[in-house]
Structure 1
Amino acid sequence: MAARWIRLGYTQKFDKANIPNAGNILDTLASPSFDPMREQSLTWQGIMGGFGWNVEKNPKGVRTLDDLFAPANKGKIVVLSEMRDTVGIILRHQGVDLQTVTEDQFMNAVDFLAGKISDGWIRGVKGNEYAEDLTAGDAVAVIGWSGDMFILKSENEGKFDFAIPDSGGTISGDNMMIPYTATAEAKVNAEKLINWYYDPAIAAEVAAYVNYVTPVKGAQAEMEKIDPALAASEFIFPTEKTMANLSVFRSLTPAEETSWTEAFQKAAGN
């Protein structure tokens, strides 16, 4: 979405003089293909895509696509309606680099997904609603997001867990941007607010509340003052090893965005 907004001219360039804290962005998020100099966007929170599961039903965990599609899980698997995460994880399993994925490779992964749906392995393709399926017992394993699974785990006495696939997971982010319609005064105020959120102390407070990956350097040290347990959480502060196993899905051309999305939605039954 951020790439599309920037491509279509819906956003304004930042005045970085009003955002000195922009330099605190994590290196892994500093140069996305859609905005390599971060002139028009800054990450709000990072989102890791991986496997979530019911610990009682999957006592050995779910760390590969084969684990996800274990016979005992058939009919009780939910995958994300976010194309880049669900197909991205399948592509990583197939050894494909998400920064160079071709149309043939993408369509091959979509065919794999369609087969699992038609064969009854997958009960649904959903957004955050998969959390309800897990708590109700209708799903026992999912392709899901780290923040949702952190909350489920903490609210259900460790009944659920999350891991990045051994073959690699996805990372993306919601982005803060300023629309081209903003007045000069509103733009300055927005830049000051963005700068405030990129203060490590403020970023730590936000992360403690939302439990997603903070994009701000220095926030982990500040989190130590708030909650040492959260400061040690890989859900919020993934290690360098974990980050190295996460990939950003490349920006798509307008034609790819249309055809790839249509193929995914057709496979999902939409």
Structure 2
Amino acid sequence: MLPAHRSSPLPSRRNLLAAAGIGGAVIGLAACSSNQPAKPSPAADRSDEWRTLRIDSWETYGNTLGEDFPGIEEFAKQYDVDVSYWKAVTDDNLYYNDVKTRLASGSDIGADAVVLSEWMVARWIRLGYTQQFALDTMPNTVNVRPRFREAAFDPKRMHSMPWRSAITGIAWNRAEFPDGIRSVSQLWDPALKGRVGVLSSMQETIGLIMLDAGVDISGAWGDAEFTAATDTLHQHVVSGQVAAIQDSKYLDALTSGDIVAGFARSADILRLNQAAAARAGSGEAFDEPWGFAIPAAGGVLWTQDLVVPIGSARKGNVEAFVNHYYEPTVAVQVAAATNYVSPVDIRDQEASALDPAVAANRLVFPTPVSLQGTKTFRHLAAAEEQRYIAQYQSVLLAASS
């Protein structure tokens, strides 16, 4: 049953959309126009002189940013580079809208490397806002898993480096659902009305709905399949079945009890359960509060990539940094600390140094077999991206009125 009094009332749908960057995404659509100015030229590399490096990444790395990020101190000592790791990205569109004017002019945006979702990385590459990596200085790129070595928008990985990955599936409050939830369709049960959350990310939310309808989201689908999925979402938002459409703030709704089930990212739920265990303390019986499952119809495997903005004068420092983190002994530390899937093919030899329970977690250290239940949302051409984002936003905005 719903609690009689909510400790942290859910904001209005309109406010949720604004917080998730939906309004900003509409503005961002202008970047897809075919009438683009000449692409800017990359800044001259001054890494030999400027021994600093700033990386803008997602706040959802939890407490592992800054000097506590695994391997930072080791890299700084080895390369004499002072690294700062900023929690600067909360939403791809919000970040892009903040820096796009400087990117278009080739100016320095402050960051020397930025971690973004692949669809946004594809836009930056298309617009000429990224620098090309000197792969001959990055021998550890051979350690990248075959699944991440190529991208439709960057076939030879010249402008982007896979940085972290995870699986989007279904999470639920285990006290309310001891038997778990195994399909998207179960979330549409009227008994859950007003207690279901979905993510603001189009690829994740629409991807899961399409998979539930039997669509291979990595294959050859088109307008009909996308429209059917957005219609499904529209139906459940307007009816009140879906109470929240959020970015990373969905974790607050889960922990407060405002949302008891919905779409979620594997790394986030693992981290929530770890935090709950830490609060419970040792020596006490502990049941994880939240369950997570890859739906039977499939989960969405997503990747965020690292790029060098066109105006950065420290590309060489970034290349050394990525090469350092593509060393398997370093990559295994990052995966264990953050709960994200590493792009590096981590072998049993590296994982053997971890707690066996951590190493056995297939949401963090997947095998080719465990990844078979996931699909990646296919790359959208510029015209498709513009059309589908507008369609997705129109559903959300109509529902908020």
Q: TM-score range by the shorter chain?
A: over 0.9
Q: Which residue of structure 2 aligns with residue 140 of structure 1?
A: 260
CA contact 1:220–1:237 (8 Å) conserved in 2 = no
Q: Which amino acid aligns with 1:153?
A: N
Secondary structure of 2:352's counterpart equals helix
Q: Which residue of structure 2 aligns with residue 130 of structure 1?
A: 250
Q: Which residue of structure 2 aligns with residue 78 of structure 1?
A: 197
Q: Which residue of structure 1 aligns with residue 272 of structure 2?
A: 152
CA distance in 2, matches of 1:133, 1:6: 35
Write out aligned runs for 1:44-193 (5 A).
Answer: 44-99=163-218, 100-156=220-276, 157-183=287-313, 186-193=314-321
Q: Which residue of structure 1 aligns with residue 8 of structure 2?
A: none
CA contact 1:221–1:231 (8 Å) conserved in 2 = no
- Answer yes or no: is 1:209 the counterpart of 2:329: no
Q: Which residue of structure 2 aligns with residue 8 of structure 1?
A: 127
CA contact 2:185–2:212 (8 Å) conserved in 1 = no
Change (3 A) 1:73 1:238: farther
Structure 1 residue runs without a partner (length 5+): none
Deviates more, 1:219-228 or 1:67-76: 219-228
Q: Which residue of structure 1 aligns with residue 45 of structure 2?
A: none
CA contact 2:166–2:363 (8 Å) conserved in 1 = no
Listed one character per residue, the Cα deviations across residues 56-109 of structure 1 (whole Å, up to 9, x for unaligned) are 111211111122223332210000000000000111111112132202211110
Q: Which amino acid aligns with 1:246?
A: T
Secondary structure of 1:46's counterpart equals strand
CA contact 1:49–1:170 (8 Å) conserved in 2 = yes
CA contact 1:171–1:247 (8 Å) conserved in 2 = yes
| Cα distance, 1:219 vs structure 2 | 5.7
CA contact 2:197–2:263 (8 Å) conserved in 1 = yes
Q: Which amino acid aligns with 1:108?
A: A
TM-score of the superposed pair, with normalisation by structure 2: 0.64
Aligned residues: 268
TM-score of the superposed pair, with normalisation by structure 1: 0.94
CA distance in 1, matches of 2:201, 2:187: 18
CA contact 1:54–1:161 (8 Å) conserved in 2 = yes
RMSD (CA atoms): 1.6
CA distance in 1, matches of 2:207, 2:347: 28
Residue of structure 2 aligned with 1:240, choices 364, 368, 392 = 368
CA contact 2:234–2:396 (8 Å) conserved in 1 = yes
Write out aligned runs for 1:213-232 (5 A).
Answer: 213-218=341-346, 221-232=349-360
Deviates more, 1:66-75 or 1:110-119: 66-75
Q: Which residue of structure 2 aligns with residue 261 of structure 1?
A: 389
| Rg larger for | 2
| Cα distance, 1:39 vs structure 2 | 1.6
Secondary structure of 1:249's counterpart equals coil
Structure 2 residue runs without a partner (length 5+): 1-119, 277-286
Q: Which amino acid aligns with 1:78?
A: G
